[in-house]
């Protein structure tokens, strides 16, 4: 998850060292847009005298397609948990053994033996969060802890809603709205999901990645989006509130991995170890406003993140959150067909 931007493919060279002669190699990072703190990159460059280039993508599918095609030149990519099994199965990732690195001891225990990378042989945590509801309270003052905000929008929000253009997140919330389970192949449930999305879409204004600007400015009055981006919007406009859909909402984690065909493997490993340092993990979170998976990083976070409603789930909504997992291929095909219909 994770905030994403439409500026996919735009390469940003973040050079923090003094003089190119001092550089000791390079590192090419392929990451979600607007998700990498320039201060973190500069700190890494200054410490290791490595030139870092960050290239943005806007979705898991975009990143996967680019790397599958070859000739990309990237060393690091940051897949979401539900896509990790695909990357591993297709042999696209290096088994870098981050669990043997010096700073791995700082990874929070809950993020060590994860189902998408048991024991962390391929990846280290970047950030994690949820998809939820963001609403301008001056426009709508009712219950926002429900996916009805974008699936059956109140009249105050009709024509003013943005929905994240991520198939799995949107289908997850819609399936849960009808009482179904994620990865269900129940045709009756999926027909309801498809019909509801087709009915709701004309009531939306957009499906894009511009929430951090357009929600606080008033261009959008309601969104289904990632919590960190909605927090960034609230910091610009205190009328923005965050809601956890009681019917069910997806939880994500994005993790740093090294590509099997990386040209700068040692620098990539240095970066992996670097971001497991609590102070550096805090820099990642301070920029994009998502939680990370590193113990001890809380003490370095900005005050605005401590106790933030977008990061602290109310007890009554905790059980509604569920980690997105990769669905079986036959189910994924059904979901893709629904999503294709929605996007026609």
| Whether residue 171 sits in one domain with residue 189 | yes
Instruction: Write the DSSP string, 208-267.
Output: SS-HHHHHHHTS-SEEEEEHHHHHHHHHH-TTEEEE--TT-EEEEEEEEEEBTT-S-HHH
CATH number for the domain spanning 235: value is 3.40.190.10
| Whether residue 283 sits in one domain with residue 222 | no
Instruction: Kindly report the average pLDDT of the chain as a whole number.
Output: 93
CB atoms within 10 A of CB 119: 11
| Whether residue 337 sits in one domain with residue 287 | no
Sequence-distant (≥ 6) Cβ neighbours of residue 77 within 8 angstroms? 30, 31, 63, 67, 87, 257, 259
| Whether residue 180 sits in one domain with residue 316 | yes
**What is the total count of domains within the chain?**
2
Residue 304 has pLDDT above 80, yes or no: yes
Distance CA(99)–CA(92), nearest Å, equals 19
| Whether residue 329 sits in one domain with residue 190 | yes
| Whether residue 121 sits in one domain with residue 226 | no
Q: For residue 24, what are the β-bridge partners? A: none
| Whether residue 54 sits in one domain with residue 142 | no
- pLDDT tens, 116-167? 999 999 999 999 999 999 999 999 999 999 999 999 999 999 999 999 999 9
| Whether residue 225 sits in one domain with residue 265 | no
Q: For residue 242, what are the β-bridge partners? A: 134
Q: Is the dihedral of CA 290, 291, 293, 294 positive or negative?
A: positive
Q: Is the dihedral of CA 203, 207, 212, 214 positive or negative?
A: negative
Structural domain boundaries enclosing 326: 130-250+312-342
| Whether residue 222 sits in one domain with residue 186 | yes
Q: Secondary structure of 43-102 in the HEC alphabet?
A: HHHHHHCCEEEEEEECCHHHHHHHHHHCCCCCCEECCEHHHHHHHHHCCCECCCCHHHCH
Sequence-distant (≥ 6) Cβ neighbours of residue 274 within 8 angstroms? 44, 47, 48, 103, 280
Sequence-distant (≥ 6) Cβ neighbours of residue 319 within 8 angstroms? none
| Whether residue 316 sits in one domain with residue 287 | no
The reported pTM is 0.89
| Whether residue 44 sits in one domain with residue 78 | yes
| Whether residue 76 sits in one domain with residue 48 | yes
Residue 9 confidence (pLDDT): 37
pLDDT: which is higher, 31 or 17: 31
Burial of 8 (0-12, 13-18, 19+ CB in 10 A): middle
- pLDDT tens, 216-261? 999 999 999 999 999 999 999 999 999 999 999 999 999 999 999 9
């Amino acid at each position: 998850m994770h905030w994403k931007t439409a500026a996919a493919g735009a390469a940003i060279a973040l050079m923090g060292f003094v003089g190119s002669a001092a550089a000791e190699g390079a590192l090419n990072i392929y990451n979600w847009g607007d998700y990498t703190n320039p201060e973190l990159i500069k700190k890494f460059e200054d410490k290791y005298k490595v030139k870092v280039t960050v290239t943005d993508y806007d979705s898991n599918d975009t990143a996967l397609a680019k790397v599958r095609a070859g000739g990309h030149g990237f060393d690091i990519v940051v897949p979401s948990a539900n896509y990790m099994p695909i990357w591993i199965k297709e042999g696209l990732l290096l088994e870098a053994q981050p669990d043997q690195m010096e700073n791995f001891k700082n990874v929070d225990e809950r993020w060590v033996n994860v189902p998408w990378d048991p024991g962390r042989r391929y990846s280290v945590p970047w950030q994690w969060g949820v998809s939820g509801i963001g609403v301008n309270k001056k426009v709508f003052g009712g219950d926002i802890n429900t996916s009805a905000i974008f699936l059956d929008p109140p009249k105050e929000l009709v024509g003013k809603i943005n929905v994240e253009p991520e198939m799995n997140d949107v289908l997850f919330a819609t399936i849960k709205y009808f009482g179904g389970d994620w990865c269900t192949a129940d045709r009756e449930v999926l027909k309801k999901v498809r019909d509801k999305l087709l009915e709701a879409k004309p009531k939306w204004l957009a499906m894009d990645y511009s929430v951090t600007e357009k929600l606080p400015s008033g261009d959008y009055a309601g969104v289904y989006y990632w919590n960190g981006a909605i927090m960034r919007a609230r910091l610009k406009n205190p009328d923005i509130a965050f809601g956890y859909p009681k019917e069910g909402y997806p939880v994500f984690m994005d993790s740093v991995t090294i590509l099997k065909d990386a040209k700068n493997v040692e620098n990539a490993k240095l970066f992996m170890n670097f971001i497991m340092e609590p102070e550096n993990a805090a820099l990642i979170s301070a920029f994009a406003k998502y939680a990370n998976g590193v113990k001890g990083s809380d003490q370095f976070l900005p005050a605005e993140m401590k106790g933030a409603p977008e990061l602290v789930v109310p007890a009554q909504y905790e059980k509604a959150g569920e980690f997105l997992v990769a669905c079986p291929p036959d189910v994924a095909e059904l979901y893709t067909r629904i999503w294709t219909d929605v996007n026609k």
